[in-house]
Amino acid sequence: MKILMVCLGNICRSPLAEGIMRSKIEKYNLQADVDSAGFEPFHTGDAPDYRAIKVAKQHGIDISGIRSRLFRKPDFEKHDRIYVMDSGNYNDVKALSENKTQMQKVDYILNISYPGTNKPVPDPYYGGEDGFEKAFQMLDAATELIAMELKDKNMVI
């Protein structure tokens, strides 16, 4: 199972989602892989925002090695599931898609926790550190449910 986490800058929400999901893959010995990408080229090649690194570290997760990269068309074929953070990301992914099969892999990550609601993980970039903690909690809950689903399907090593 190859999972891709997508946000706008790939320096706040999606690297947090990647790091948290990776920690759960290790914790539950899941046969899964996770990556992240974004759509805003300004931060390409950068490490995650220092506030995202700090919040993750407070929860025992190191995301400092992640580097921002852009979402590209081959990501549709490389991944089984593509989780976006908000409607802007959804529309950005949709604009690059070429068929319905590709879009069937795409969903809002909070639809895992709140099915069918298309709730966003609010972008914490322009706010304070509490926004990063809130994003962490939302992503932790959603990725725990993803991990439980994979575990139930016996996708363990």
- Which residues are catalytically annotated? 7, 13, 123
Nearer to ligand 4NP, 31 or 91 (CB): 91
Torsion region of 65: left, alpha or beta (phi above 0 gives left; psi -120 to 50 gives alpha): alpha
Nearer to ligand 4NP, 76 or 131 (CB): 131
CB 25 within 8 A of CB 17: no
Nearer to ligand 4NP, 7 or 106 (CB): 7
Q: Which residues bind ligand 4NP (CB under 6 A)?
A: 7-13, 38, 40, 42-43, 123, 125
d(CA 82, CA 48): 20
Smallest distance from ligand 4NP to CB 151, Å: 27
Selection from 155, 137, 147 nearest residue 23 by Cα: 147
Smallest distance from ligand 4NP to CB 87, Å: 13
